[in-house]
Each structure stands twice: as C-alpha cells, then as structure tokens.
Chains A and B, each alone.
Chain A
Amino acid sequence: MIVYLVRRFGQSLLAIVAMAILVFVGVYAIGNPVDVLINPEASQAEIAATTARLGLDKPLWQQFGIFVWNAAQGDLGTSFVYGRPALEIIVDRLPATMELALVALILSVGLGVPLGVWAGLRPESVAGRTIMGGSILGFSLPNFWQGMLLILVFAVLLGWLPAGGRGETVEVLGMRLSFLTLDGLSHLILPAINLALFKMSLIIRLARANTREVCLQDYVKFARAKGLSGRRVVMVHILKNIMIPVVTIIGLELGSMVAFAIVTETVFAWPGMGKLLIDSINLLDRPVIVAYLMLTVLIIVTINLVVDVIYSLLDPRIRLSEVKG
C-alpha cells in the first residue's frame, strides 16, 4: 500500500510539472498583457519600462525558470491588475467555490445514488421511468439556461429565494462561509442546485445501469436465498458494488465542479474562482490565470489520489493486486 502510494504520488507530481509547462507556454501565446494594461498613448519608453518591471523582456525559458523557482517557494506571481499576489487573490475566492461545489456534490450524490438505485431496481415502474426521463432533462438542458429558469421560478415568480450574490457570511478559520447563516444558505441553494443537476443526472444513470447489472449477479440471488431482508441486500450487497464506478465519477466531477463552476457563478453572480478566471482572461492578467490553472491541477490531482485510495478501500481485489505488484 505504501509503495503504491509513493508511486502514485510520483505520477501526480509528473502531471503537475507537465501541466505547468503547458499552462505557461499556452498563456504566453495568448497575447502581450502590456498592450492591455497601460495607457495606449504611453510612450515607447514607458512600455519598455513596464515590460521590464513585469519581467516580460526576458526569454520564455528564463521566465519559466523564474516562475518555477518562485512557485516552489509558494509564490505564483503578482497580479498585473490588482498588484497583489495571485495566489492570495485566488485563495480569497476559493472558499466560495469550494462551498458551492461541496454542497452541489452532496446534493448530487445524496439524491443521485438513491434515485438511480431505485430506478435500477424497478426499471419498468412509473417512478423508474420518471427518474430516467428527468435525468435526460438534467443533462441535456444547457447549464446556464437551467440557472436562469431556476432564478425565474424561485426568485422572480415565487420570490422564495434570492437571485444572486452570496448573502451573509460567517468567518471560520479565516474563510468566509455562507452555509452557516440562514441568509447565506438561502443564497446558496439555487446555485448549488444548478451546479448539481448535471452531475446528479450522470450519477442517476450510472447508478441505475450498475444496479441493473449487479442485480443479475448470482451473489445477489444468493444473498436473497440466505433469507436476508430486501433492505440489507440493497443497502449492503448491491450498494457496495455500485459505489466503485460512482466514486470514480464523483472524483472526476468534483474536480471539474471546483475548477469550472464558471457558468453557474456567472449566472448567480457568485463571487467564486470561476468568475475571477473569466475577468482575468479578459484583462490578460497572466499570473492570476497561471496560478488559477496550477491550483486547479493541484486540486484535481489530489482528488484523484484520494479517489484511488477510496477505491482500494471499497474493492478488496484492487488492494491485493497492489500488494503483488
């Protein structure tokens, strides 16, 4: 297990380095930020001075070297626009996005798995068909449009929930969190639902397909032949088997939820990282873009690492093959 973890950790590190090169070169290619940052009427000397101040006069490999050297010390550069460390700006916004993604994850798993299992156990029933029909809507309607409909129905027509913003927050360990106040929670519900709908539909379909497959296995029949209650068969024998693919998807999707909640954050004016990224791209604020992407890579790689560990906990067969390998 430890050998496996070390090896897996090395792979993650490689992925991060590869991504750093890609991101840096990619961002370098999208344009010269000096053109956007300073007054168009500035003199050649001023442009040269700014370029030198930002370190953009050096060749690419040197810029990358400086970037890596600084990054290794936890400094991902200073924002051209805000004049503050890029990482600090992003980390400021991180709790909002994390909070949104986690609530969305809880919603999508908490509802998606039971609904999917239900539909898988009774594929021909009205409930089963309704769940499946609903899930098709869930991932075929565009995300932004779902968001707008949610606002229209719950904020405008019914007036139950606010249409945007973060509401009242509470500071916990230096992070501002919404879900601890009633007002914040009411602001959180709609964007969380919006972000969760697609993932939930995905999980429903995955859980249903796997439930149907597992139900046909002899061990489920054997479990019933042992006289176990239907509840125990479903909650233990079936659920534990379908959780393996579900955990994979959750891992993949949680990463993308944290990193790319951009649409939802834009529709609901949620002050998270996604919105920051869009603003930074518009302003060619290179350090923020690079820092954002690096942080995203780090998050996704970490989540995948965690998922692999959960895997081996769920499936004893994986554990064994690693001991051998």
Chain B
Amino acid sequence: MTKLLEIEGLQTHFFTRDGVAKAVDGVSLSLDRGEILGLVGESGSGKSVTGFSILGLVDPPGRVVGGRIVFDGADLVAGGERMMRGLRGRRIAMIFQDPMMTLNPVLRIDTQMIETVRAHADVSRAAARERAREALVRVGISSPDERLESYPHQFSGGMRQRVAIAIALLHEPDLIIADEPTTALDVTIQAQILSEVQTLCAEAGTALIWITHDLAVVSGLADRLAVMYAGRIIEAGPTAGIIARPAHPYTKGLIESVPQGKRHGTLLKQIGGMTPSLLHLPRGCKFAPRCPRADAACDPEPPLAEIAAGRGVRCVHPHLEAEESAAS
C-alpha cells in the first residue's frame, strides 16, 4: 500500500533580518492511512512549522526551500496555491493550538462552518448548514441549532476547540494535523478532547499528525513517534518502543522529565541548557552542547540511522538495548 504522506528532506527556512533561521532542516517522515503520528519536541524545534509546511501555510519570511511533500501521490511543494487550496480543509485539515484565537471573533459559528462546507462542495446554504449541524453533534455539542447562531466568545475554550475539530471533520479529510490542540485546555477537557479525536479518527480512518511538546499526552494516542530537535528528527519509531527504551539521549531526557508515580519524592531529571538559537546552530550534532554523552565523534552530525526495524535515531552514542541490559 502506498503511503498517504511522504516527506523527504523538507527544509523550511525563515529569511529574517538577522540571518536565515533553519526552522525545519531535512525532515523526512511518512504516514500510512489511518495512522497516528506524534510529532514531539520543545518550542522552536520546528514541529509546528513542519505542520504548516504540509498545508503550504508558512507565513513570510518563511519558505519551503527544499525537499518533497508527497500527499497521496501529489507533490505539494511543486503544486501551486490553487491545488493547495483544493486540498486544505477538504483532504488535509488542521486544528490549532489556541481555540480562543482560531475562530473569527466577529463571525457567527454557522457562517464559519457553512463557508468551509461551501468552499469545497457545491451545495445550498441549507444543506451546508445541515452538515455543520451534524458535525457539531458528532463532536458532542448539545443544542447545535442554538450553538450555530452563537459567536465564538459565547463558548468556553473546550467548546471552541470542539467547534474547531468539527470544522476540521466537515469534509472527512484523509489527514488532520493537530498542532498542540489540548495545550491551552484544562486537564479534564484535554482528556475528553483527546479521546474524542481518537475515536473520530478511528471511525473515519483519518490519519493524524499530533504535534505536541507533551510526551505524556501523545504516548497513549500515537502509533508512532517522531522526536524533533532544532529542525531535525532525532528519533523516530513505534511509540511503545521509544517510551520504553529511548535511544537518543534527548528523548531519554524528555521522558525522564515527565513526572511519574513510581519516582514520587525524587527530584525530576531535567535536560541542562536551552534549545539553541536557530540562527546560530552549533556544528555537528545540534544536541551535543547539552548532551551528557557528547564527545569529539559528535561532529560531523550523524545521519538518522536505523537501529531496529522501523526505528531510527540520529546519534553517535545511542542508548542501545544491549548496553541497557548489560548495565542492569
């Protein structure tokens, strides 16, 4: 079966006054139909920019300068704005981080939903409205008729995110890119939204790229993980494997910095230092300055090497299984 999405060597750079910020520099990943990929990284690691690059929505001064994004056989980088507009919202939808900001404050919910339906389907207003109503019901919004007449400010954050999800689902897309959609929400709402998105995607066979900085959120959701650091993927593979035995020192650091019940009372481990500025990246491995295992071999930067089936890591000194078991 062909992949739904294949990204090869994607480079998205921002041409700022102070120099070129290589927000995404050589990212490759692929996604099957119905698969859920967790794209994990700290702020500024390039995970959101990767998402926007797929939709062709990188704002100037940013630009996709290299690589290929092949969606269901069509090259999105080469395809023009016309083709992208046809895909956006219909076959690839996106959910944003801050639900307070994603709905237009001066337009009613029905306006914002109906226009989405009619952007891709030649239907009457009434039919479009009916589809919008159904979509609201699907995401668990009660009294949808009344809700359609409301403005965004009359909704809570969780409700707005549900509306945003309903909008994303309107055309039953093949792929949804969710950019930290639960970060701005309360924990209880987070869990609800998470399970709802999971159910809805499973029902419709929709593939999902879940962008997050929160490993705890994504570990229960994603089939596979890709960990990003400074515009690169530094580790990728099945979720269970990565969570149980992270190979890259950065991934290991991320997992250890998540609070866990059994380590209660002990100090949380943290990764020393800060993410490097994209304008002044270090030579060689970008994580080396913060890495406890770094040495002279970390320059030049290693490639993403396969250490097991479907498991890639970009490190000269990975934490390997053999070594782990020898130590214990």
Contacts and interface: CB of A to CB of B under 8 A. Distances in A.
B107 interface: yes
A278 B151 CA distance: 50
A221 B111 CA distance: 16
Nearest to B99: A218
Contacts of A216: 59
Interface in B94-120: 94, 96-98, 101-108, 111, 115-116, 119-120
A210 B86 CA distance: 28
Contact of A224 (B57, B103, B107, B108): B57
A223 interface: yes
Contacts of A228: 85, 89, 115-116, 119
Interface residues of B, number: 32
Contacts of A221: 57, 59, 96
A314 B106 CA distance: 7
Q: Which of A216, A218, A222, A241: most chain B CB closer than 10 A? A: A222
Interface residues of A, number: 24
Nearest to B104: A219
B2 interface: no
B153 A316 contact: yes
Contacts, number: 81
A320 B155 CA distance: 13
Interface in B138-180: 151, 153-154, 164, 167
A222 B86 contact: no
B112 to A, nearest CB: 8
B101 A315 contact: no
A216 B59 CA distance: 9
A84 to B, nearest CB: 49
B93 interface: yes
A241 B103 CA distance: 12
Q: Which of B93, B101, B106, B115: most chain A CB closer than 10 A? A: B106
A8 interface: no
A236 interface: yes
A244 B101 CA distance: 18
A315 B105 CA distance: 8
For the complex of A and B, 7 pairs with smallest distance between CB atoms: A227-B89, A218-B101, A227-B88, A226-B89, A316-B151, A225-B94, A222-B102
Interface of A: 216-219, 221-229, 232, 236-237, 240-241, 244, 314-317, 320
